[in-house]
A and B are shown apart, each in its own frame.
Chain A
Amino acid sequence: MADGTENRRPLDELETKSLLVKLIREVHELNQKFDSVVEFGGKILKAQEEFLQRTTKQNHTDRTIKVEPDMVTLFSLPNALRKTAMALYKLEEATAEDLAKETKRLRAVESSAANQLVRMGFLNKRREGRKVYFYIE
């Protein structure tokens, strides 16, 4: 036959099995190589993610309005936050519950306002056991 198969003899059963075993082995090796590639790719992705997180956090920090907690800045705060800030000036250090007693607002409202002021850099907070104390540094 003109397609080049004229000199081939049919494979016997043993040869077929041997070829299959070889094929399976090579596929297995390929799988391992693919696994290595995937693992390596994963490491690259992880490194990229960490890089992005670092730069994003830095950019976010740079963009965040860091306010000095002085009286002139109090002018620019929304009334709800200003009330909490002024209560802390008076109390020096307080939990959300202490602030609520001072401002006559709900504890949850003071907690939310105080944490917002912490994010803005106006206040600091520290934990003592289960209590969280807010203060102006």
Chain B
Amino acid sequence: MKIREKILAIHSSRGGTGKTTIATNLAATFAREGLNIALLDIDFRAPSLFGVFSKGIQKPVKLWLNDFLLDRCSLEHALVDVSEEYGWEGKLLIGFANPAIEAIRNMLGRSKSWEVAAAKKLFSMRTPIFNDMHMDCCILDTSPGIQYSSINGVVSSDVTVIVTTLDSLDIRGVKNMLVEFYDEFEKKSVILMNKVFPQTRMWSEDELNGLITRMEKTFKHPIIGAIPCYCSVLEANRDSLLVVENPDHPFLKDLQEVAKRLEQL
């Protein structure tokens, strides 16, 4: 798999679409297969990645992604290398958002001027990530909807992967954002449908292709995958990686197909 020097923003119009589960397991899948990946948690209001990877962190995290954006350290110092703990072929460097309430409050109260500086920092991280740290791909786990951090993340990325379910509110939200946000900024966007049908009632290939065709007409953007709703994924502990706990899970095979389509963009 080759996704060279691309920044992927994993975004959604609402919460609960499976964005973080997809971002983390996609990054881990890439690392497992030999790619060097930087994964950044830019959801500063509801940080998740620290919880997901906490078992893989050997030393206490001293510097967070917050510190990089607050000019307290370089990006390199704010990234934690978890590859050794998981024994993957590729590297996985993670920029954790500080989950402490004090830190979240601090980020909430930031001025517009600071948001400008933060956006510029996200734009400027391409060189250190790809040239200095030799990462193959950078994945941004964004906050849902329209907020400064999600806008900054989407605008500084190369491709936005919009995760949606078939919930009518999600679909309406995605349609609005495609027209009023992604297209306005001329960002390359693709749709990934998640929790499409229950695992207990798998759809046939014709049914699936029919759905994809209808959704592509609805969104007027390419659909790169339609992942079933796996009970085991919903029931799994969110503070663990499926790639580690159950590496042969069909959800991961679906993600591998998604990754292949991302490469072809």
Contacts and interface: CB of A to CB of B under 8 A. Distances in A.
B113 A68 contact: yes
B16 to A, nearest CB: 24
B214 interface: no
A70 B123 contact: no
Interface stretch (B147-155, B159-167, B249-257): B147-155
B113 A71 contact: no
A7 B210 CA distance: 128
B123 A71 contact: no
A69 B124 CA distance: 17
Given A89-B123, A92-B124, A71 B184 contact: no
Contact of B155 (A69, A71, A73, A83): A71
A23 B151 CA distance: 85
Contact of B120 (A72, A75, A79, A136): A136
A70 B184 contact: no
A74 interface: yes
B148 to A, nearest CB: 6
B123 A90 contact: yes
Interface majority SS (helix, strand, loop, mixed), chain B? helix
B124 A71 contact: no
B59 interface: no
A136 B186 CA distance: 20
B120 A71 contact: no
B5 interface: no
Interface residues of B, number: 17
B116 interface: yes
Interface majority SS (helix, strand, loop, mixed), chain A? helix
B185 A70 contact: no
A120 interface: no
B119 interface: yes
B201 interface: no
B96 to A, nearest CB: 23
Contacts of B76: none
A79 B115 CA distance: 21
B184 A79 contact: yes
Nearest to A91: B123
Contacts of B185: 74, 82, 86
B112 interface: yes
A70 B124 contact: no
A74 to B, nearest CB: 7
Interface string A107-137: 0000000000000000000000000000010
Interface in B92-144: 112-113, 115-116, 119-120, 123-124
Contacts of B181: 75
B118 to A, nearest CB: 9
B127 to A, nearest CB: 11
Contacts of B186: 83
Interface string A9-44: 000000000000000000000000000000000000
In the complex, which of the residues A74, A79, A89, A90 has the most CB atoms of chain B within 10 Å of its own CB atom? A89
A32 B206 CA distance: 103
A119 B205 CA distance: 57
B81 to A, nearest CB: 28
25 contacts: A68-B112, A68-B113, A68-B116, A70-B113, A70-B116, A71-B115, A71-B119, A71-B148, A71-B151, A71-B152, A71-B155, A72-B115, A72-B148, A72-B151, A74-B185, A75-B181, A75-B184, A79-B184, A82-B185, A89-B119, A89-B120, A89-B123, A89-B155, A89-B156, A92-B124
Given A68-B116, A92-B120, 8 more contacts: A70-B119, A70-B148, A75-B184, A82-B184, A82-B185, A83-B186, A86-B185, A89-B156
